[in-house]
Amino acid sequence: MFKRRRSSKKQRPTEGAVLDSLAESGSTAPRVHTDGPYDAADAPEEGDVRRIDLGAIKLPVPKGVGFQAQTDAKGNISQVLLTTGSSALQLLVRAAPRSEGIWEEFRGELADQVTGQGGQVEEVEGRWGTELIAKVAGKKGANSVRFCGVDGPRWFVQATFQGQRALDESAAPELDDALRNLVIDRGSTAMPVREPLPLKLPPKMAEEAAARIAQRKAEGGDGNRAIIAAGDTPKPQVRRKPSPRPKR
């Protein structure tokens, strides 16, 4: 695993101007063994871990965890979410430089965004190193999320815990297991630093998404995206209206 390291902040180049090129000069940052997430080159055998192949990532879906993906008709994923109980984990994997991590700088930018919107942030040492707990006012009171980051070899995982897990590290251990067993297949194509790695549904799921979008359009609806679910996603409980009492 890519060794987490602190570095002095540098002036950011023009967006999209810097590529994480394989031809980048200089030595690669030192790597040390960890329990995951894993680069594809260092991933352990599958074993009992079930994973969904989403292209750039192999996503574990532990027992008791539901998987949801927002996708277009071609199966291109724009959002990945794992849920269990009252907690959720949103994942995003980005391209990163070859020689240094980006979490420290990225964390500062997230803090600025939250405070700029009137929210509060707290930097804590947690299970995934230095983490950021953000509280933002919502329609139903304050909402809390926990931002975590993992710097890898030419990739960066942005993990956002929501719900109970945002404030309680002991909640939803299944979500931490999923993050720990995540496998990233970065590939060799040079990409702009911070650009999300392309994620795509497996063929059968992509067909299901295309069918849902086509059906919605045939029924007069609009929108070019669908939510595809898998794993142990709990079914919503529907309240039944009480039967009317017979008139006397």
pLDDT band at 44 (very low <50, low <70, confident <90, very high): confident
pLDDT of residue 18: 52
Q: In this predicted model, what pLDDT tens digit does every residue of 75-121 receive, in sequence order?
A: 999 999 999 999 999 999 999 998 889 999 999 999 999 999 999 99
The answer to whether the CB of 1 falls within 8 A of the CB of 32 is yes
The mean pLDDT of the chain is 83
pLDDT band at 27 (very low <50, low <70, confident <90, very high): very low
Q: Is the pLDDT of residue 29 over 90?
A: no
pTM for the whole structure: 0.81
Q: Is the pLDDT of residue 132 over 50?
A: yes
Q: Which amino acid is at 6?
A: R
Q: In this predicted model, what pLDDT tens digit does every residue of 88-100 receive, in sequence order?
A: 999 999 999 988 8
Handedness of CA 162, 164, 170, 174 (dihedral sign): negative
Residues whose CB falls within 8 Å of the CB of residue 213, separated by 6 or more in sequence, listed in order: 72, 73, 223, 224, 225, 226
**Mean pLDDT (whole number) for 212-224:** 88
The DSSP code for 122 is: E
The answer to whether the CB of 154 falls within 8 A of the CB of 96 is yes
Task: Kindly list the distances between the CA atom of residue 6 and the CA atoms of 59, 64, 151, 196, in Å, as whole numbers in the listed order.
Answer: 28, 36, 11, 22
Domain ranges of the chain: 38-106+146-184
Among 45-49, 69-73, 126-130, name the one with the lowest average pLDDT.
45-49
Q: What angle do CA 37, 40, 43 make, to 5 degrees?
A: 60
Q: In this predicted model, what pLDDT tens digit does every residue of 143-183 receive, in sequence order?
A: 999 999 999 999 999 999 999 999 999 999 999 999 999 99
Residue from 81, 130, 138 nearest 114 by CA: 138
> What stretches of 141-230 show up as alpha helix (H) in DSSP?
173-180, 203-218
**Tokens linked to 13:** 């180049």
